[in-house]
Amino acid sequence: MPADYLLSVDLGTSHTVAVVVWPDGRTRPLLFDGSPVMPSAVFLDPAGTLHTGKDAERLALTAPERFEPNPKQRISDGTLLLGDREIPVTAAFAAILSRVARAAIESVGRLPDAVLTCPAAWSEQRRGALHDAAAQAGYRPVKILTEPVAAAHYYTSRLSHQVQAGQPLAVFDFGGGTLDIAVLERRPDGSFGVLADGGLPDLGGLDFDAALVAHIGETVKQREPEIWKRLENPNGASELRNRRELWEEVRGAKEMLSRSSVAPVTVPDMAQSLHLTRGELDQISRPLLSRAVGETQRVLALTGRRPEQLAGLFLVGGSSRMPMVSKMLHEGLGIAPTVLEQPELPVSEGAALALTATVPVTPPAAVTSPPANPTAPSLGLPPMTPASDETVLLRRNGGAPLPPPRRGTVHTARRVPPKWIAIGVAAVVLVAAVAIGAWWLLNPYKQRPFADGLT
C-alpha cells in the first residue's frame, strides 16, 4: 500500500483523466463537473486567464478564435494562437494540470506526488514539456510513465488477466488524436518493457469526425451550397461558431452510432436536419480501420511474434468503443480483443497501479468483448523494487491486509468457486428433503382424507 496519496494524470488529446490512490490502496478518479473525463480544451479570455474543460468549451461559443480543443495535438508547433495572443503549448498543459491539482486538493486536502503518462513514442523533448508544465502548475517533480506500460499494468492488476514472464501483450490505444500501438513483454520481475511500438499519428477519433463532416458536406453542398461554403471557410466569430457546432454535432452522432443504428445531425443555418446511419459510419470507417489493423500486424511482426502468442490484445481510448474496431481487429488478427465500457480510464488508473502496491480488486463491471486470455485470474504479483519510468515493478501486498473492497464490488480473492456453490445448494436440498420426508412420516393426519376435515 502506498504510504501517502498519489495522483496519476493522463493528459490526452481530447480528454484528461486523473486518479488518486489513497493510502489504503484504493483508487478513485477525480471528478470534473461530475465526470471522470475532462475535455483537454483551453480558452484564453481577454484578461489573459486560461479556462479549461467544459468551461472552455462553453466560452468557445462566445469567441471561437480564443479556443483550442486539443492542445496536445499541437505539441510539435510549440505555441498556440488564441485570439490575438500566442501562448506556449506548455502553458495550456499547465492550465489543465492546475485544474487537476485544484480537484485533487479539494478531494484530499493537498497536492500529492504525481505520475503523468505520455505516448511511448514521445521524445525526451516532449516529455520535458510535460515536466515543465507540471512544475508551472505547482507539482513537485513528477514521474512520467508511458501510456502502454500503464495500460498493461491495468490489464494485469485491475482486470487480473495473466501475462506470464516472456509473454507479449498488445495495447491498442485509439484516442482522439492518434492511434498508438505497443507490444510489451512481461519481464520475470513483473515489469513491462516495450518490445515494439508504432501507430498512426494521423488516425484518431478526430479523423473519423473529419471523414464524417466531409460525407455530410456532400449532402449540404448539394442542397445548400452557400451554407456549405460558409461552413467550409468560416469568416468571423459567428461562422466559426457554426463550423465548431457542426463538428460537435458530427462527433456526437458518431458516438451515438456505437449504440444506435441512426443518429440525427443538425447543420447550423439549415432548416432540415440530416442523419447518419451505422452503415454509413461503417463504410467510411472501413478503409481507416484497415490501416489500423495493418499497422497492428506490422508492429507485432517487428517483435517476431505471432498473434496467437499474445497474452491479450487490450483496447483503450474512447475510439475503441466503435464496434467496428473490435470486429476488424478480431478478423485481422484472429484473437478477441478486450475492451472496457469506459476505455478512457485504464491508462490513468494503470499508471497509478503501476506506482503503488495496489493489489487486484474487482474488475470493472462490463467487459464488452471476451478477454483474449481465458485463463484464471492470478493474484501472484511479483515483489516490488524501486520504480523507473519504463520498468515499473509491482510488489506483493507484503502480507498486509487487503484493502477493503469498493462498495458494491466483491474482492476477486474471496470469490467462492462454482463447485462449492453447487455442493452447498445440493446439501441444502438434501436437508430440506429429509425434513419434509420425516414430517410426512410422523404426521398423524397424513392418511386422513381431506373431506374428513370438513365434518
Interface residues toward Mg ion, by CB under 5 A? 12, 175, 317
Select from ligand ATP, Mg ion, none the partner in contact with residue 350, using the beta carbon and a kind-dependent cut-off of 5 to 8 Å.
none
Select from Mg ion, ligand ATP, none the partner in contact with residue 146, using the beta carbon and a kind-dependent cut-off of 5 to 8 Å.
none
Please choose, out of 231-239, 268-276, 315-323, 388-396, the segment that lies near ligand ATP by the rule CB under 6 A: 315-323
Q: Which of 8, 90, 178, 358 binds ligand ATP (CB under 6 A)?
A: 178
Select from Mg ion, ligand ATP, none the partner in contact with residue 322, using the beta carbon and a kind-dependent cut-off of 5 to 8 Å.
ligand ATP
- Beta bridge partners of residue 44, listed in sequence order: 50
Residue 440: Cβ within 10 Å count: 9
Which residues in the 33-52 window bind ligand ATP by CB under 6 A? 40
255 counts as binding ligand ATP under rule CB under 6 A: yes
322 counts as binding ligand ATP under rule CB under 6 A: yes
- DSSP letters spanning 292-303: HHHHHHHHHHHT
318 counts as binding ligand ATP under rule CB under 6 A: yes
CB 390, min distance to Mg ion, A: 18
CB 180, min distance to ligand ATP, A: 7
SS (H, E, C) the chain: CCCCCEEEEEECCCEEEEEEECCCCCEEECCECCECCEECCEEECCCCCEEEHHHHHHHHCCCHHHEECCHHHHCCCCEEEECCEEEEHHHHHHHHHHHHHHHHHHHHCCCCEEEEEECCCCCHHHHHHHHHHHHHCCCCCCEEEEHHHHHHHHHHHHCCCCCCCCCEEEEEEECCCCEEEEEEEECCCCCEEEEEEEEECCCCHHHHHHHHHHHHHHHHHHHCHHHHHHHHCCCHHHHHHHHHHHHHHHHHHHHHCCCCCEEEECCCCCCCCEEEEHHHHHHHHHHHHHHHHHHHHHHHHHCCCCHHHCCEEEEECHHHHCHHHHHHHHHHHCCCCEEECCCCCHHHHHHHHHCCCCCCCCCCCCECCCCCCCCCCCCCCCCCCCCCCCCCCCCCCCCCCCCCCCCCCCCHHHCCCHHHHHHHHHHHHHHHHHHHHHHHHHCCCCCCCHHHHHC
Q: Which of 18, 43, 60, 72 binds ligand ATP (CB under 6 A)?
A: 72
Cα–Cα separations (whole angstroms), residue 9 to 17, 22, 300, 421, 433: 6, 15, 28, 41, 59
| Cα–Cα dist 222/60, whole Å | 29
CB 399, min distance to Mg ion, A: 36
143 counts as binding ligand ATP under rule CB under 6 A: no
Q: Which of 258, 277, 368, 378 binds ligand ATP (CB under 6 A)?
A: 258
**Mask of contacts with ligand ATP, 263-302, x by CB under 6 A?**
----------------------------------------
Q: Which of 104, 344, 354, 394 binds ligand ATP (CB under 6 A)?
A: 344
CB 318, min distance to Mg ion, A: 8
Select from Mg ion, ligand ATP, none the partner in contact with residue 178, using the beta carbon and a kind-dependent cut-off of 5 to 8 Å.
ligand ATP
Please choose, out of 19-27, 231-239, 247-255, 300-308, the segment that lies near ligand ATP by the rule CB under 6 A: 247-255
Written as nine digits, the cell of 78 is 510549440
Please choose, out of 176-184, 211-219, 373-381, 390-398, the segment that lies near ligand ATP by the rule CB under 6 A: 176-184
**Mask of contacts with ligand ATP, 11-30, x by CB under 6 A?**
-xxxx---------------
Question: Nearer Cβ to ligand ATP, position 153 or 254?
Answer: 254
Select from Mg ion, ligand ATP, none the partner in contact with residue 71, using the beta carbon and a kind-dependent cut-off of 5 to 8 Å.
none
Question: Nearer Cβ to Mg ion, position 5 or 93?
Answer: 93
CB 86, min distance to ligand ATP, A: 23
Select from Mg ion, ligand ATP, none the partner in contact with residue 205, using the beta carbon and a kind-dependent cut-off of 5 to 8 Å.
ligand ATP
71 counts as binding ligand ATP under rule CB under 6 A: no
Binding site for ligand ATP (CB under 6 A): 12-15, 40, 72, 173, 175-178, 204-206, 251, 254-255, 258, 317-319, 321-322, 344
